[in-house]
């Protein structure tokens, strides 16, 4: 069986896509990944990835911003034209699809040129390509709704309207769909009852499991957060404010990810305003995914500090949680619906807090700083849960069964 995976982004910018591709390849399937070059920062990581997984065929659709400047500029102007039409009130599938991504047309063409036995998509902009290619070759189409896409903005916004048009046009034509949280599954199943949805948690490989719980300096409490990009309104302001409210200088926060000088200056200024010393807020540049668990393991608490400012943030289950488990971090969960549901099922992995209440969070941080027994017990529970249940080797079995049943 030949499985064709289609994404409107780069592989290294989508760990879930890579995990799925590697899973299928290691299970003996022929795998092709069609992707678009949207993230120049990921180029070096992609080259290493392609070399590591040479048995997977990697096909680029679209134009690189530096290697093919003229064609890239053309694609940008083309997208802006369709975005103008959409803003002008021409709301249909044609304008919605073409204004959503730089390389929609190239992605559809590339997917259609490759004969597959099943097409599987990642990122909403790839949904039309997956459905169109599967229809052309008369084979099943699968799509991974990692997020609740229409819930990424306020209802009635242009983004919401565009997303709804694309989802309504193509989702009911899928043979099967996956999501990254039980509440996203419930939301999409209600919208498209004819489609079967399966929750595939955003776990990481058990190869990332730390062999033993690291014993840390008991005089310091070290917090950790990571993402591809460090930015505002990710819940970090509440964390920093809470650290300041404790009045303790032995609590530090490390932020790992691509960070512009403006954003760094913003957080340094904010931390200074809240009373943090210079060594209490640390920045680390983005690293390869496989390097993150060992870095996280050098810290005590992992932060899952989502802010539910839109529906998607309320019901998504961030992949950070599953990496923290493998790293042996106790977890601070903000009280989104999805994270509350997870925390209630596994309360010994950390503590939940109101996402907008720095004072209550400060009390929690002080308790951890004073009670190492509690902290290490939760860290050990997290590590055990990652080892026995929440790892990709366990989670991927659902994905393999899904494909084998097609």
Over residues 181-228, the pLDDT tens digits come to 999 999 999 999 999 999 999 999 999 999 877 777 778 999 999 998
Residues of the chain with pLDDT under 70: none
Range of the domain at 74: 2-203+392-404
8 Å CB contact between 302 and 329? yes
Residues 281 and 360 in one domain: yes
Residues 254 and 144 in one domain: no
Over residues 97-107, the pLDDT tens digits come to 999 999 999 99
**What one-character-per-residue DSSP string does 166-177 give?**
HHHHHGGG-SEE
Query: For 362, how many CA atoms within 13 A lie in the half-sphere containing its CB?
Result: 16
Residues 196 and 57 in one domain: yes
Residue 285, judged by CB atoms within 10 A of its CB (0-12, 13-18, 19+), counts as exposed
Residues 256 and 363 in one domain: yes
Q: How many helices and strands (H and E) does the chain possess?
A: 17, 13
- Please tell me the predicted confidence (pLDDT) of residue 41: 86
Residues 168 and 101 in one domain: yes
Collapsing DSSP to helix, strand or coil, 403 comes out as helix
Instruction: Please tell me the pTM assigned to this model.
Output: 0.92
Residues 277 and 181 in one domain: no
Structure tokens at 121: 């998509």
| Rounded CA Rg of the chain | 22
Residues 94 and 178 in one domain: yes
Residue 300's nearest CA partner among 327, 338, 326 is 327
Distances (CA, A) of 213 to 207, 293, 295, 329: 15, 12, 13, 9
- Please tell me the predicted confidence (pLDDT) of residue 219: 85
Residues 109 and 245 in one domain: no
- The number of folded domains in the chain is 2
Residues 16 and 36 in one domain: yes
Residues 76 and 103 in one domain: yes
- Please tell me the predicted confidence (pLDDT) of residue 208: 95
Residues 196 and 251 in one domain: no
Instruction: Report the Cα–Cα distance between both ends of the chain, in Å, rounded.
Output: 11
CATH classification of the domain holding 218:
3.40.50.2000
């Amino acid at each position: 069986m030949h499985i064709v995976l289609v994404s409107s982004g780069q592989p290294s910018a989508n760990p879930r896509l890579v995990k799925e591709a590697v899973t299928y390849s290691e299970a003996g399937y022929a795998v092709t990944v069609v992707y678009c070059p949207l993230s120049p920062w990921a180029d070096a990581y992609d080259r290493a990835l392609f070399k590591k997984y040479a048995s997977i065929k990697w096909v680029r659709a679209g134009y690189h911003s530096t290697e093919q400047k003229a064609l890239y500029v053309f694609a940008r102007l083309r997208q802006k034209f369709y975005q103008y039409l959409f803003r002008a009130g021409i709301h249909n599938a044609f304008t919605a699809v073409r204004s959503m991504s730089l390389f929609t047309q190239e992605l559809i063409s590339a997917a259609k040129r490759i004969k597959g036995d099943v097409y599987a998509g990642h990122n909403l902009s790839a949904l039309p390509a997956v459905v169109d290619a599967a229809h052309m070759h008369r084979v099943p189409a699968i799509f991974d709704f990692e997020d609740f896409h229409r819930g990424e903005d306020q209802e009635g916004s242009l983004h919401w309207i565009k997303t709804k048009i694309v989802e309504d046009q193509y989702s009911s034509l899928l043979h099967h769909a996956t999501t990254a949280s039980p509440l996203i599954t419930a939301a999409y199943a209600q919208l498209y009852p004819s489609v079967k949805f399966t929750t595939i948690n955003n776990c990481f490989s058990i190869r990332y499991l730390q062999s033993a719980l690291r014993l840390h300096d008991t005089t310091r409490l070290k917090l950790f957060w990571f993402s591809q990009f460090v930015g505002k309104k990710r819940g970090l302001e509440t964390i920093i404010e809470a650290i300041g409210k404790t009045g303790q200088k032995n609590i530090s926060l490390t932020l790992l990810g691509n960070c512009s000088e403006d954003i760094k200056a913003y957080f340094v200024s904010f931390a200074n305003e809240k009373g943090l010393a210079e060594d209490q807020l640390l920045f680390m540049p983005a690293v390869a995914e496989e390097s993150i668990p060992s870095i996280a393991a050098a810290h005590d608490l992992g932060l899952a500090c989502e802010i539910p400012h839109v529906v998607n943030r309320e019901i998504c289950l961030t992949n950070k949680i599953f990496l923290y488990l493998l790293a042996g971090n106790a977890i601070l969960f903000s009280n989104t619906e999805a994270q509350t549901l997870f925390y209630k099922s596994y309360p010994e992995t950390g503590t939940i807090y109101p996402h907008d209440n720095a004072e209550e969070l400060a009390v929690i941080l002080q308790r951890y700083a004073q009670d190492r027994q509690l902290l290490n017990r939760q860290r050990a529970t997290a590590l055990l849960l990652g080892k026995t249940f929440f790892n990709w080797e366990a989670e991927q079995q659902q994905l393999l069964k899904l494909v084998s049943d097609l």
